[in-house]
Amino acid sequence: MESAIVMEQEEEQEVQVSITFGELQFFDCDDISTCVPIQSALKICRSSLEDLSAKTVDVLSLWLRKLLRAYISEADCYIDIFKCLYEWFQRLKSDVTAESDGACSDFITLIADALSFAEWAKQKLLTAGERLVHTASFFLLGIVYSCLQLSNEQNVEALKQHEPLAIELHLIVLYLLKEITSTSNKIHPRITPLLRQLVDIADFLSVNMTHLHAFVKTGKTMTNICTHYAKCIDLSQDDGTTMPDWLEETVMHLCDTVLTHLETVCKEDTPSVPVDKIEEYLKVTQVYLIMLHKLLGCGVKHMDTDVLDDIVQVLSLGEIKRKHDLGQDLHQLIAKYVRPITLQIFELLYQLEDFQKYLIGWLSKREQVDVDCFELCLDYITATITDRAEISQPTCKTLQKIFEYLFKDACHFTNAARYNRILDAFGTLLHVTCSASLINYFCTGLFEEDIIKSQVCSDVLTLCFRLEEANHSWSKPDVVKATSYWIKCNNSYAMFSQNLSQLHIQRMLKYFHRLGNNEMPIFSMRSYRYLHCVSPRTEQQKRILLLRLQRLIKEPLSDIQQYYEFLALMELLPSAEIEGLPHLWSKVKEMMVGDKCKHLANTYFKLALQFSPATKLRILQTAEPFLSKPEANSCWYMQKFLHACKRNADPQLKSLAEQHAIDKDLLSLLDALQPVSVSKPSPNKLHNVNYKLSCRRQHMHQCNLTSLKRKRSHIEKKELMQQLEQNSQQLLQCSTELDASEIVQLRCIFERLKNILSQHEIPNK
């Protein structure tokens, strides 16, 4: 019995195999599945292609018109069938050229058959399952891609007329993928090649404005697929793994599309997009940015360098320059359709560690090639401000790096419009975020040796404090605490320090003094720094200080305390209050006899610069002994006073000042500091501002060799001994004139010498 069944099956197989390809073509669709098994039909077609008894297009058409429809219920066998169909299709595609009319005709037939099958089978394929939909879609998308590739890359004109059929087929496949994905709960390896195929097709669709609908539909389908599958995995896990290939491919495609669109509308010559279509084109760009925002909002935490490179270029859209003038305000359109979404993308990414590390490295590379990343930096700060999340420590570090990048040179410091925008950004950032780390960073920045960064930190803090004040955020304890802090900072400087950073400290102290409505302290050497910062405000306060100075003028100065008090009072009082004081100049001359009063000379002549020409003349007439001394060259304000007198309109004052020479190095510096009239540049030359502009003096000041300080380790001990011996002889001659403070200083010197002697045994003579 069993042998009979086997013989019957063998006879049936022999009958099936004996069917030719021509006979298979004449079967009705309803009879095929009962008369010829699917594997037998596949074997017949394969044999016919091998012995060249059938054309490739005929085999493919037979499957699309009849066989696939007949075997639609046998889904398990469909996978192998579609693999064979794709292989045969590649053979047909390789024969298509611009000169081969027959091959082009075959390809057109195949497109029509594929479209007919897709329309008939779309609901049946969805019922058959996800695997079959993916396999069929890969084959059908291969036909669409080949049609677009051949018509565009190889200029096959015959296929260009049939692109609408390929687009229609493409839209059906997109529908299949969208519907089957919505019911999927597992990520399959087939997703990556399918999405890559969609990317390739989208590249060709983007070339022709007539395919704009299909182009956008492709991007939306890819985004929906990735968004759905992203829910199946946790992308926010901090395990160091990058995003999946299928998601990475889609993100990079969206970024490339946005960049290509903007390059297209910003071409230096006439753009390839019609002028009246530019706005519509940018609307499509906006849609792609929204897709990108949707994907990055799926919880992505780790990204590859290639992905980050594309994303940062997209976020740098603010640097795009308008290169044509065709009646369209390109910047306004970009501001309307593009930049709002890029700021939202910034808000998603700005705290991610991968993004921050990449951004810092990217900015450092741009420093080397002089690329302007100004807008990118401001957008990062804006994203930090608008996000209500607490600022992390890595974000603080990134913001500090951005600040250092913006002021790596003076280009933004000397550009008023940009400088104001930077101040607004950082000032608002400090006010809104209340980050202790950032506030400490800018407070520390006040003491920077870089005068530009020091000034910027001062301006940022001042703006932040004023924003706090405008929003009534200062409490009385906060003001008291802040005032105490800045008083300590101010008191850390020497009594008559000329340090530039102290000016910024005094600016802060002056602000909080006003804010706290503090009372003016009574004058003393301890309160001098505070008084010098806020300065007396009432006539009564000025009068008290003036009376104290008058008393010091009348009395002999017996100690160092009185000397510094004399200097302090001259620093606190304005020149208008001091100019008319009797015997003031006589007192100053008396104190300058000992050649040890450099601070006094600088203080007095700084005031004298504001005196009337008549007073300046009286000073010059009696200042001969001091102006002729070699030490006068190291007294900056004395030299500045002489320089101002030489430029005065009064001929007598000018003539008298000409009798005193100014060191040539100082003269060149003083000339350079003179105010000059600067002509306003014409608008068409504003773009020629040198990017590498830095704040440099026109003439470098060189100190005289006698005034240069040398390290003690570089001075020979014999030379020290000789200087000590000479100085001691001179000191002996004026020993009767030493005051109390100088005696104290002498005792200290004597104790040091005794310590040196005690370290060595002196041999007896």
pLDDT in tens, 174-212: 999 999 999 888 888 889 999 999 999 999 998 887 888
Exposure letters 4-39 (e unless 16+ CB within 10 A, then b): eeeeeeeeeeeebeeeebeebeebeeeebbeebbbe
Least confident range of 39-48, 87-96, 325-334, 540-549: 325-334
Last residue within a domain, chosen from 133, 162, 183 = 183
Flag whether 166 is in a domain: yes
| Number of independent structural domains in the chain | 2
Distance (Å, rounded) from C-alpha 452 to C-alpha 436? 23
How confident is the model at residue 236, as a pLDDT?
66
Confidence of residue 449 (pLDDT cuts 50, 70, 90): confident
Using the CB atoms, write b or e for 578-606: b if 16+ within 10 Å.
bbeeeebbebbeebbeeeebeebbbbbbb
Q: Specify burial of residue 436 (Cβ count, 10 A radius: 0-12, 13-18, 19+).
A: exposed
3-state secondary structure at position 695: coil
Q: How far is CA 17 from the centre of its chain?
A: 71
Instruction: Please check whether residue 502 lies inside any domain of the structure.
Output: no
458 found inside a domain? no
C-alpha distances (whole Å) from 77 to each of 135, 462, 508 are: 11, 76, 81
* 140-144, 258-262, 725-729, range with the lowest pLDDT: 725-729
> Is residue 94, in this structure, part of any structural domain at all?
yes
List, for residues 206-252, the tens digit of each pLDDT value. 888 788 899 999 999 999 999 999 888 877 665 556 788 999 999 99
pLDDT tens by residue, 278-294:
888 889 999 999 999 99
Using the 3D structure, point to which of 136, 153, 183 is the last residue of a domain. 183
pLDDT value, residue 170: 96
The DSSP-derived string for 108-169 is HHHHHHHHHHHHHHHHHHHHH-HHHHHHHHHHHHHHHHHHHHHHHTS--HHHHTTHHHHHHH
Is the pLDDT assigned to residue 140 strictly greater than 50?
A: yes
Of 160, 183, 206, the last residue of a domain is 183
Answer yes or no: is 731 within a domain.
no
Q: Using only C-alpha atoms, what is the Rg of the chain?
A: 43
Residue 126 lies in a domain: yes
List the structure tokens of 485: 């802090």
Largest CA-CA distance found in the chain, in angstroms, rounded: 146
Task: Give the structural domain span for 44.
Answer: 9-183
Its pTM stands at 0.74
